[in-house]
Structure 1
Amino acid sequence: MLDVNRLRMLVELSRRGTLSAVADALSYSKASVSQQLSALERDVGVPLLRRVGRGVQLTPQGTVLVTEAIGILDQLEHAEVAVAESLTEVTGTVRVAVFQTAAHALLPPALLALQQQHPSLRVDVAECDPETSLDGVASRDFDLMLAEQYPGHTRPINDDLDRVVLTHDAIALARQPGRTAETDATEALWATRDQPWVLEPAGTASRAWAEQLCRTAGFEPDVHFEVADLTTHVRLIRAGLAVGLLPELVWAGEPPTVALTTLPGAPRREIFSSARRVSAAAPSIRAVRRALASAASQTLPDPD
C-alpha cells in the first residue's frame, strides 16, 4: 500500500521543481523529503527520480505515478466533502489566502457573520500575493483564495481551480486633499507627469497596469516610493508627498481621506475567489464564500 503523504510529496516535487521548495511548502526538512521519496521508490520498486546536476527530475515512471497520485488525492478530497455534506452542522477548517485590501475590507464582516452562523467552523487566514495564493490552492496549502484582476491583465488559468467573481471596485487617481481637481479625466492624469508617484513593487499586476495606464497617457510615472502596503500609499498621498492609484475597496466603505479623480475609461478591477473544483462543493467552503459575498455586497455594492 502506497503512503499518501509520500505521494503528495512527489506531486509537490512535480509542481515546485526542487526538494527544498517541497520541504518549505510541507514544513519538512529537505533530508526528510528526500528520505520519504526514497522510501516511495522502494515501495513502487522502480526509480522515480534521477539526479540532474544538483537537482532531480522525474523519471517516466515518476511522471506516471504523479498523474495517478493526483487522482488519488482528489478522490480522498471527494470523500472528505461527501462526509461533510452528510452532517447537519458546518464544521472543519477552511484555510483562506487573501490580498491586503480584501483582508482589510471583507474579512472582518465575513468572519463575524461566520462566527454567528457556523460557530463550529474555523477559518485560518494568511495574507499572500495572488500569484502565491493561486499556487497555494492548487497545491492544497490553502482551500480558498481571494485575488484581484486588473483591466486587460488576465491571471494564469488553472483548470483544477474554479473562479467565482465577488465584486468589482473602481480605481481612481489619488492626490492630496484640497487641491483643485481637473474636470477632464485625461487632463487630470497628464497633470501628474512631473509629480512623484507611489506604486506597488515591480512585478505585481497592479504596478504593470499602473505603468501601462500612464504610458497610454503619454508619460512614464516618476516612482519615488515602491510600497506594497496601500495604507502607506494613502498616508503619502494625503501628506502631499506623492500621487497614486487607489482602489475603492481600500476605504472599506468609509469616506476617502484623499482627493479622488475618475480615471480615463473609469476602470474597475475584478475581485474573485478560487477553490479546487474537487472541494468547492464542501459546505465549509460554500459557507465562507457566502459570507464573503455578503460582505462584498454591503461594503462595495456592485453596479453590475
Structure 2
Amino acid sequence: MFLAYNHRYLRLVGAEMLNLHRMRLLVELSRRGTIGQVAEALSFSASTVSQQLGQLENEAGVPLLEQVGRRVRLTNAGELLVRHSEGILQQVERAQAALAATRSDIIGEVRVATFQTAALALIPRVLEEMNFRHPDLTLYLTEIQPDSATSALQAREFDLILGEEYPGYDQPQVTGIDRKMLFEDPMRIYVADKWKPNRDRKELADFADVPWILEPKGKPARDWAETACRAAGFEPRVRFESADLLVLARLAETGHGATLLPDLVWDGYHPQAQFVSIATKPVRNVYTAVRTGAEARPVLVELRNILVSVCDRRADIAI
C-alpha cells in the first residue's frame, strides 16, 4: 500500500481517498476541542464541519470521533490521522513555497496579523519598502490580540504574525509554527512629574502608593505588571484599565497614575512625561511567526528580511 496524490486528495492505494480540506478540519478539531470552535475559526457552520468530518470517517474507513456527552473526542485512529495530517499539510506548504520560488518575481497576496504598537511603529515603513520593491504584491494587515494570533495563524487566517511575549510569560512551543526573534523591547515606568516630587522615586517599589494604569486582567502584560509589582513588595492599586497602550500613556502623562510601557510605544509618539527604568531591566520580546513549511516561501522570506531591516534602522529612544 502506498500514497498517491491527486489535486486535493491523498489516497492509500486500495483504500478510499483522503480529502486534504477535511484532514485540516480534523487537525483544527484536535487543537480547538469542539466542533463549534472549529466552525467559528474557519467561518463555517457547525453542521458543515460535522458533515465534513463524517465524510472523512467514511474515507478513512474507521471511526475517527466518539461522542462524549454533548462533545466529541478523537479516537486512537483519529489521533493517528491528525499526526499524519499535520505532516502532510506541512509538506503541502513546502511544495507551495518551492513552486513560488521558481518565479522570478514576488506577486500575489500576503496576510499579516500584528499587535497595536507594531502596527503603529513598524508596519508603515514595511509597507513603503514592500511597495517599492514589489509593487504587484498586495499586503493585507489586521490588528489582532497577540494571545489569539497563533491559533489564527494555524487556522490559515494569516500567513505571518508579528507577536509579543512579556517577561516571565514564555509562550509554549507550538508544533507547526516557525518563530524568529526580531528584537527586545525594554519595559519602563511612565509617570508624570506630579508623582515624582524631587525626583526621589527611582525604583518600582517607590511607586507603591501611586495609582496604576494597566491593561485589563487576563492579558499577559497585566499579569507581568502585577507580578513585577508584587516582587517589589506591593499590590498595585489599579484605577484605570485599557488594552490601548496609547490610552495608558495619555492617562499617565496627564497625571492620573503610573504605567508600565514598552519603548516601541514612543516610536513616532513624543513622550510628555517621565521614564523610570526598572532595576531588573525587563524586556518584551517581539517576534515573527509563520507556519512550518511556509518559512521558505519567497514572500515570507522577503517580508521577514524587511522587518529585520526596519527594526535595525529604528532610531534609539532618547530619554
The alpha carbon displacement at 1:143 in A equals 1.8
CA distance in 1, matches of 2:159, 2:126: 16
- The gaps in structure 1 that reach 5 residues or longer are none
What residue number does 1:25 align with? 41
1:147 and 2:163 correspond:
yes
CA distance in 2, matches of 1:140, 1:209: 29
CA distance in 1, matches of 2:97, 2:256: 52
Aligned residue for 1:279, secondary structure, equals coil
What residue number does 1:194 align with? 209
- How does the TM-score come out when normalised to structure 1? 0.92
8 Å CA contact 2:98, 2:296 repeated in 1: no
1:52-131 equivalent positions in 2, closer than 5 A: 52-131=68-147
CA distance in 2, matches of 1:106, 1:86: 30
1:281 and 2:296 correspond:
yes
The alpha carbon displacement at 1:235 in A equals 1.4
Deviates more, 1:33-42 or 1:128-137: 128-137
What residue number does 1:209 align with? 224
Q: Paired residue for 2:202, among 185, 195, 212?
A: 185
What residue number does 2:9 align with? none
- Deviations for 1:19-53, whole angstroms, at most 9, x for unmatched residues? 10110111100111111111122222222111110
The alpha carbon displacement at 1:173 in A equals 0.8
8 Å CA contact 2:90, 2:292 repeated in 1: no
What residue number does 2:5 align with? none
8 Å CA contact 2:94, 2:296 repeated in 1: no
What residue number does 2:184 align with? 168
CA distance in 2, matches of 1:155, 1:209: 13
8 Å CA contact 2:205, 2:232 repeated in 1: yes
CA distance in 2, matches of 1:181, 1:90: 57
CA distance in 2, matches of 1:193, 1:43: 63
Q: Which has the higher contact order (CA 8 A, sep 6+)?
A: 1
- How does the TM-score come out when normalised to structure 2? 0.88
CA distance in 2, matches of 1:256, 1:160: 40
- Deviations for 1:149-173, whole angstroms, at most 9, x for unmatched residues? 2233311112422221211222111
Q: CA RMSD in A?
A: 1.9
What residue number does 2:282 align with? 267
8 Å CA contact 1:105, 1:299 repeated in 2: no
- The gaps in structure 2 that reach 5 residues or longer are 1-16
CA distance in 2, matches of 1:268, 1:60: 43
Q: Paired residue for 2:65, among 38, 46, 49?
A: 49
The alpha carbon displacement at 1:136 in A equals 2.3
Deviates more, 1:54-63 or 1:64-73: 64-73
8 Å CA contact 1:253, 1:300 repeated in 2: no
Aligned residues: 300
1:258 and 2:269 correspond:
no
